[in-house]
């Protein structure tokens, strides 16, 4: 079996599985218990918070709010006083979980324009009016296309143009453990499933942000008074932290490796003729794409069918974000990028991991070409 769907869920490394098993054996007690095992679990969770922040952002001073998933943390943020009733500036390329939660509680949401050529978000130009907003909520790496946004620079420019404070949230779920995270953000959402943990998520909060005390106080009430989310499982959160530390040790080498694999795959598949007369083409230029995600457009092909045909050959890829895999609607991401609606089901996402090899890439490309002959 060849696995190329790591953007949906990363294969858990053996070292992480071993750590999780040991942590489960050690941390079976409820961390809120008054006895010594509960106290020990709390202390180990506090240590895991510092280790996670140090591994992902290079500073143990960042605060951490644990979550069960990225979606659970988007919900917590949406219910917080920082978003409820506020004006949000976002984009139509955000993960649907973020957009759905913020639409539920925000007063209004406005959207940045998108460069149809490369998927980059566009800030208002000189002389253009910046929309009034209280919250900026943007992705660092787009989950379907893989386009990388220059979030640090965008936040800096918008703060200069806005002339007033705003809460800057970075959705770094596809970036954590693979890219440096945006330190200019007030808050960063990450998810363990995307870099080799068996689950869990975290909200990293900047230590010098004026919004951090407000959000920490709300998160405490949300969990312990309002019961808006479950308590974190100590063993799972410790494993999340361990997986992050493991990734940080090889971040640069891993990215260089998968970048070479993606470059080869682009060379092997770009321009391949399709039934109906079209050709395979990358949706995002290589210089703007995450090394880990290659998104292809196959005009005239229903890639949901292609994914199933490849699965029968033992090859796992995706037609888009896993959360919308079975939707009868065209990809909202492709529509936002200006792709004709008739090709809204023609996207193919191939996401890589460090364990993938050159031989696997060549087999993947050859199998795609062969399967298309029988489409």
The DSSP annotation for 130-183 comes to: PPP-SEEEEESB-TTT-BBP-HHHHHHHHHHHH-S--EEEEE-TTTTTTS---T
Cα 201 to Cα 95: distance, rounded to the nearest angstrom: 16
Q: Which pLDDT score is estimated for 327?
A: 61
Residue 104 to residue 86: CA distance in whole angstroms: 11
How high is the pLDDT of residue 342? 85
Architecture of domain 14-249: 3-Layer(aba) Sandwich (3.40)
Identify the bridge partners of residue 189 per DSSP, sorted by sequence position: 171, 203
Nearest 5°: the CA angle 333, 370, 10 is 50
Query: Residue 23: its pLDDT value, please?
Result: 93
- Which is it for the CA torsion 310, 9, 246, 77, positive or negative? positive
The candidate with the shortest Cα–Cα distance to 366, out of 269, 257, 264, is 269
Q: Is 2-9+251-373 CATH 3.90.1150.10?
A: yes
Per-residue burial over 349-360, b if 16 or more Cβ lie within 10 Å, else e, is bbbbbbebeeeb
Structure tokens at 42: 């709390």
What pLDDT is recorded for position 163?
82
Domain borders along the chain are 2-9+251-373, 14-249
- pTM score, two decimals? 0.95
- Nearest CA to 204 among 356, 45, 63? 63
**pLDDT tens track of the chain, all 375 residues?**
999 999 999 999 999 999 999 999 988 888 888 898 888 888 999 999 999 999 999 999 999 999 999 999 999 999 999 999 999 999 999 999 999 999 999 999 999 999 999 999 999 876 677 788 999 999 999 999 999 999 999 999 999 888 889 999 999 999 999 999 999 999 999 999 999 999 999 999 999 999 999 999 999 999 988 888 888 899 999 999 999 999 999 999 999 999 999 999 999 999 999 988 899 999 999 999 999 999 999 999 999 999 999 999 999 999 975 555 556 778 889 988 888 888 889 999 999 999 999 999 999 999 999 999 988
For residue 265, give the DSSP letter: H
CA atoms within 13 A on the CB side of 190: 30
């Amino acid at each position: 079996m060849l696995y190329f769907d790591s953007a949906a869920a990363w294969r858990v490394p053996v070292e992480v599985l071993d750590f999780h098993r040991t942590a489960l054996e050690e941390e079976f007690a409820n961390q809120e218990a008054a006895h010594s095992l509960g106290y020990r679990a709390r202390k180990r969770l506090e240590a895991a918070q510092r280790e996670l922040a140090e591994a992902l952002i290079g500073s143990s001073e960042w605060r951490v709010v644990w979550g069960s998933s990225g979606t659970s943390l988007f919900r917590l943020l949406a219910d917080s006083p920082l978003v409820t009733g506020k004006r949000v500036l976002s984009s139509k390329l955000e993960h649907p979980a973020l957009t759905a939660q913020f639409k539920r509680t925000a007063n209004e949401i406005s959207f940045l324009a998108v460069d149809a050529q490369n998927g980059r978000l566009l800030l208002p130009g000189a002389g253009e009016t910046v929309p009034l907003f209280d919250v900026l909520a943007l992705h660092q790496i787009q989950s379907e296309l893989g386009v990388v946004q220059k979030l640090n620079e965008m936040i800096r420019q918008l703060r200069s143009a806005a002339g007033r404070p705003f809460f800057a949230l970075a959705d770094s779920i596809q970036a954590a453990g693979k890219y440096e995270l945006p330190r200019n953000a007030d808050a960063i959402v990450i998810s363990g499933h995307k870099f080799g943990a068996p689950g869990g998520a975290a909200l990293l909060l900047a230590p010098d942000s004026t919004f951090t005390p407000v959000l920490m106080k709300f998160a405490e009430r949300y969990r312990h008074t309002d019961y808006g989310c479950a308590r974190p499982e100590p063993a799972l959160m410790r494993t999340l932290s361990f997986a992050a530390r493991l990734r940080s040790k090889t971040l640069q080498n891993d990215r260089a490796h998968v970048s070479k694999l993606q470059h080869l795959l682009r060379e092997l598949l770009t321009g391949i003729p399709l039934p109906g007369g079209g050709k395979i083409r990358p949706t995002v230029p290589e210089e703007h794409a995450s090394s880990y995600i290659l998104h292809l457009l196959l005009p005239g092909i229903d890639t949901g069918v292609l994914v199933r045909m490849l699965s029968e050959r033992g090859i796992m890829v995706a037609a888009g974000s896993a959360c919308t895999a079975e939707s009868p609607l065209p990809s909202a991401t492709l529509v936002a990028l200006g792709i004709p609606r008739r090709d809204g089901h023609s996207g193919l996402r191939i996401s890589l991991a460090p364990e993938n090899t050159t031989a696997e890439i060549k087999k993947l490309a050859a199998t795609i070409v062969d399967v298309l002959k029988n489409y």
